């Protein structure tokens, strides 16, 4: 079965939830017998790091302008024509922005599967015109694709309510259960001690709520804890610049975008993981924290509530006082958690890949 994929910037080692999703799922689909080609966006894959393949997945590196509001749609148009020339059995589009070209792909005679990673038009970074196109992408992907995959029940309910679509496939994000790192050399570089820091990770965009976390963290700093934030912005923005200044002014440690052993050490030795987001599809960073059996504190948005954590793991989104109080409560308690069993059962990448393969089969049959 020949599959062409676009809608991701690329992988490996490219920041983003969609990118992590694709990096995990498509090598597994190759093992299931698919011939997979992922089309990347060249600005995110430097020339000296452009691979022909990765774990069996082939790459086609196609140009896109690195302009926030234009890159996805321009790249997607190029991708559709590239796909038509290469005649896939299934064209798999990731996210609602690129799904805007679904009608064009269908007009050119291709079988299309769309994965809806969430209502991106709710993100603060988009202007009015971009939000209109994102909503159109959601509509066109839902209406014209041969099959629609959603990564959470929340997204599935949105499609049911808005488009009366009840037959989409619910296949969540996943996470690998890791071996805990025993190393601390990267912690030494950052100047933090095991068990004496709070950790979070994500892209530097307003809906991640990192500004709320910094504002709420004073009480924890008084108790000797440090705050470490891993990540960065795709494009320098006024918000990302303000967040970095805010971090410097409040002695917050910024690591930049990291993966591998450095990220593993931060997850392995943190006291608490916090995700203060205003908007998520199904947060892979939270699932990663759970896979390390790390205690977590997250905003009470629908995507986080869907995971079904204990009540003391949630705070009222945007409420800095509530967040501050619950950070202190979490740091003062000694709590052993066992999230690994939940992760292995509900968010297993091998199962997710197999479910996706069955969607492909249903489309072709």
**Cα–Cα distance for residue pair 67/245, rounded to 1 Å:** 24
- List residues bridging with 62 in a β-sheet: 41
- List residues bridging with 36 in a β-sheet: 3
Which residue from 336, 5, 23 is spatially nearest to 175, judged by alpha carbons?
23
Q: What is the pLDDT of residue 160?
A: 93
pLDDT, tens digit (0-9, with 9 covering 90-100), for 290-347: 999 999 999 999 999 999 999 999 999 999 999 999 999 999 887 778 898 889 888 9
For helices 153-163 and 128-144, angle between their N-to-C axes, nearest 10 degrees: 90
| Token couple for 341 | 């069993």
Q: What angle do CA 236, 15, 42 make, to 5 degrees?
A: 80
Q: What is the pLDDT of residue 198?
A: 96
- The CA-based dihedral angle spanning residues 223, 269, 260, 339, taken in that order and rounded to the nearest 10 degrees: -110
Give the residue extent of every domain in the chain: 2-174+348-364, 185-344
Q: What is the pLDDT of residue 129?
A: 84
Whether CATH 3.40.50.2000 fits 185-344: yes
pLDDT, tens digit (0-9, with 9 covering 90-100), for 15-36: 888 999 999 999 999 999 999 9
Q: What is the pLDDT of residue 10?
A: 94
Task: Provide the 3-class DSSP secondary structure of residue 100.
Answer: helix
Instruction: Evaluate whether 2-174+348-364 and 185-344 have a shared fold.
Output: yes
Run of H or E including 201? strand 197-201
Q: What is the pLDDT of residue 262?
A: 95
**Cα–Cα distance for residue pair 119/279, rounded to 1 Å:** 9
**DSSP sequence for 2-26:** EEEEESS---SS--SHHHHHHHHHH
Considering the entire predicted model, what is its pTM?
0.83
CATH homologous superfamily, domain 2-174+348-364? Glycogen Phosphorylase B; (3.40.50.2000)
Q: What is the pLDDT of residue 267?
A: 97
Which residues in the chain land under pLDDT 70? none
Run of H or E including 239? helix 238-249
Q: What is the pLDDT of residue 282?
A: 85
């Amino acid at each position: 079965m020949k599959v062409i994929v676009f809608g991701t910037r690329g992988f490996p080692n490219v920041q983003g939830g969609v990118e992590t999703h694709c990096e995990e799922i498509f090598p597994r689909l190759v093992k299931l017998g698919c011939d997979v080609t992922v089309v990347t966006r060249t600005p995110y894959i430097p020339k000296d790091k452009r691979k022909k393949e990765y774990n069996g997945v082939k790459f086609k590196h196609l140009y896109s302008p690195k302009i926030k509001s234009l890159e996805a749609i321009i790249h997607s148009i190029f991708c559709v024509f590239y796909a038509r020339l290469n005649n896939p059995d299934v064209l798999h589009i990731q996210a609602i922005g690129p799904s805007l070209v679904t009608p064009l792909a269908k007009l050119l005679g291709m079988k299309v599967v769309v994965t809806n990673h969430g209502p991106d038009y709710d993100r603060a970074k988009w202007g009015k015109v971009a939000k209109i196109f994102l909503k159109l992408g959601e509509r066109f992907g839902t209406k014209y694709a041969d099959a629609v995959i959603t990564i959470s029940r929340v997204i599935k309910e949105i499609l049911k309510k808005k488009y009366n679509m009840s037959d989409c496939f619910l296949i969540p994000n996943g996470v690998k259960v890791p071996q805990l790192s025993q190393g601390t050399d990267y912690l030494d570089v950052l100047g933090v001690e095991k068990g004496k820091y709070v950790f979070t990770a994500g892209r530097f965009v307003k809906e991640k709520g990192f500004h709320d976390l910094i504002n709420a963290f004073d009480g924890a700093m008084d108790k000797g804890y440090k705050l470490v934030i891993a990540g960065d912005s795709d494009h320098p923005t006024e918000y990302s610049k303000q967040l970095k200044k805010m971090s410097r002014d409040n002695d917050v440690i910024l690591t930049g975008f990291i993966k591998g052993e450095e990220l593993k050490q931060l997850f392995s030795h943190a006291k608490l993981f916090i995700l203060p987001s205003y908007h998520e599809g199904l947060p892979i960073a939270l699932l990663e924290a759970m896979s390390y059996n790390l205690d977590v504190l997250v905003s009470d948005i629908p995507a986080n509530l869907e995971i079904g954590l204990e009540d003391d793991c949630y705070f009222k989104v945007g409420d800095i006082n509530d967040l501050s109080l619950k950070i202190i409560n979490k740091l003062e308690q000694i709590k052993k958690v066992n999230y690994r069993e939940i992760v292995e059962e509900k968010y297993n990448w091998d199962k997710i890949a197999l479910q996706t393969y069955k969607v492909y089969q249903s489309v072709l049959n």
